[in-house]
Amino acid sequence: MIEEKKPNNIFLNENGYCLVKNVFSSEEITKLRKFVLDNHHKNQDIYLSDTKDLLKSNFLSDKFFNILKETIGEELLYFLDSSTFIDKIQKKTGIFHIDARGDEEDPITTEYKVWRIGFYLQDHKNNSGGIKMIEKSHKKLLTNSIKKIYYSLKKLKKKNYKLKSFIPTFKYINIPSEAGDMIIWNGRTHHCGRFKRLKNFEKFNLHPLLDRYLPDFLVREETQDRLVIFQNWALKHSSATNYINYRINQKSDESYWSNNKTQYKNFPKDIFDKNNILIENHSYLEK
Ligand SMILES: [Fe+2]
């Protein structure tokens, strides 16, 4: 019996991530690869860089916004937090981490309402270099350093965290994304940039530490420059407020936020308004 695929919103809720297939066509991907190559040096939100209207038929389309609403929630919140990424040099796998910040709550009893989306603009179904997730890890604490274990145990002692939140899950997934697909993951989901896909056992997913030491002859190559567009999206919630405050005050991204402010006149607010998407930090940006 063929198992019916769960709707993306349910899959995301249960597993902490989802892969939305065929969001953009191959023509759109060609445009987006050009957009990334032309604009990656600009340290600002992607919509502010769209001087040639390359994003109109993809990242500003009704289809895109509707998928986000159906998957994340109706009352979307955007806070001009997006980036482009080109990676030709770094071939190492990363380490498991989470994107959530300012989050002190127990992941098993509370919800986190900030999501990252990633468009990996090349094939990672048949090649290496995509993103690796741990399924259902958005309900678990990431305890991969002594410091994190120490702080988490302190919380446990205060009875803030359930013991179950400490018990890790081990189902690693090398997301089989193709150009045109969108990956959505919760800020709490444990993930790692850049997996290695094995030549002969392409569905075999290893821990990133093992990926890192695989000899080249066993793994599939990356056949194109690795181009990615990331965005952060949220729903109105205290976890989103904490995350946005963290981002805006992040010292290393000071110029990102000041560029957003000076370029805000180029933001396509009319299209966001038409789609009933709330823009957070509006007053901050217009000051
Ligand atoms: Fe990340």
Are 123 and 178 spatial neighbours (Cβ–Cβ below 8 Å)? yes
> pLDDT at position 172, please?
96
For residue 1, what pLDDT is reported? Answer: 56
Q: Ligand 1 centroid to 82 CA: how many Å?
A: 13
Ligand 1 center from residue 274 Cα (angstroms)? 30
Distance (Å) from CA 159 to ligand 1 centroid = 29
pLDDT tens across the length of the chain (287 residues): 556 789 999 999 999 999 999 999 999 999 999 999 999 999 999 999 999 999 999 999 999 999 999 999 999 999 999 999 998 766 778 899 999 999 989 999 999 999 999 999 999 999 999 999 999 999 999 887 777 777 777 777 776 788 888 888 899 999 999 999 999 999 999 999 899 999 988 888 999 999 999 998 999 988 889 999 999 999 999 999 999 999 999 999 999 999 999 999 999 999 999 999 999 876 666 65
Instruction: Identify the structural domains of the chain with CATH numbers, from first to last.
Output: 8-286 (2.60.120.620)
3-state DSSP assignment of residue 38 = helix
pLDDT for 164 equals: 87
Q: What is the dihedral of CA 14, 136, 75, 98, to 10 degrees?
A: 180
> How far away, in angstroms, is 163 Cα from ligand 1 center?
25
Q: Of 27, 7, 38, nearest to 229 (Cα)? A: 38
Between the CA of 92 and the centroid of ligand 1 the distance, in Å, is: 15
pLDDT value of residue 230: 98
Task: Answer whether 84's CB lies under 8 Å from 227's CB.
Answer: yes
Distance in Å, CA 261 to ligand 1 centroid:
25
Distance CA 262, CA 253 (A): 15
Query: Which pLDDT score is estimated for 257?
Result: 94
Ligand 1 centre to CA of 191 (Å) is 6
